[in-house]
Structure 1
Amino acid sequence: MNERLGQLQELLKESPQDPFLHYAVTMEYVKLDNRLDALAGFENMISNFPDYVGTYYHFGKFLEKEEQLNRALEIYQQGMEIAKSKRNMHALNELRGAYNLALGEDEEDEF
């Protein structure tokens, strides 16, 4: 285990309800190419912290890399709904762009 991951996991023990720490640990797993723990982390984020909008973009990209395009598209769509409900237009536009790119469409196309 790398040092950063260990530090994040220690912080997570102290603040287990902090969505950012869960997200940071998950992204560390992605960087380490630990696909099983990364997948578990993303699933945990979607289940326990569904309003953490940043998860959806990175989870979708992860799923695309894992050649799970249909699931990635579902995650992007789910994220777009959350972003709309939160009025987070920046996240909505990023997710819409990722969704369209995954479909092989121009980023300007509508959802």
Structure 2
Amino acid sequence: MANTDHTSPSSPAERREGGTFIPLGPASQHSKLPRDATLYLNPNAPANALYDAAEYRLKSLIDLLTTLELAELTALPNHNLLQLSRSLLLLASDAQSLYQANQQQRARGQ
């Protein structure tokens, strides 16, 4: 998460209000290198907030897959299929990262 004055720290973890933000999974990033991560989550958020965010992404993924099931995919150019695959991967990866953070939060008893 960038600071409003655009002076983001170079570290992949960032301090905000006493919490450490961690990068989402590699599939959600523009780069596989942790130091180049651009999307973060707060693993110290309440477990129900992490779970709800994961569920929202999972529901979006299911809605997209349901729509695609009704589409005539043979009419789509290959680049459209690649774009759809990337979108599905991003949603699934984000949901997985959030579910993992939720599970860690619950294991800590918070």
TM tier relative to shorter chain: 0.3 to 0.5
- Structure of larger gyration radius: 2
Bigger share in strand: 2
| Structure having greater relative contact order (Cα 8 Å, sep ≥ 6) | 2
Bigger share in helix: 1
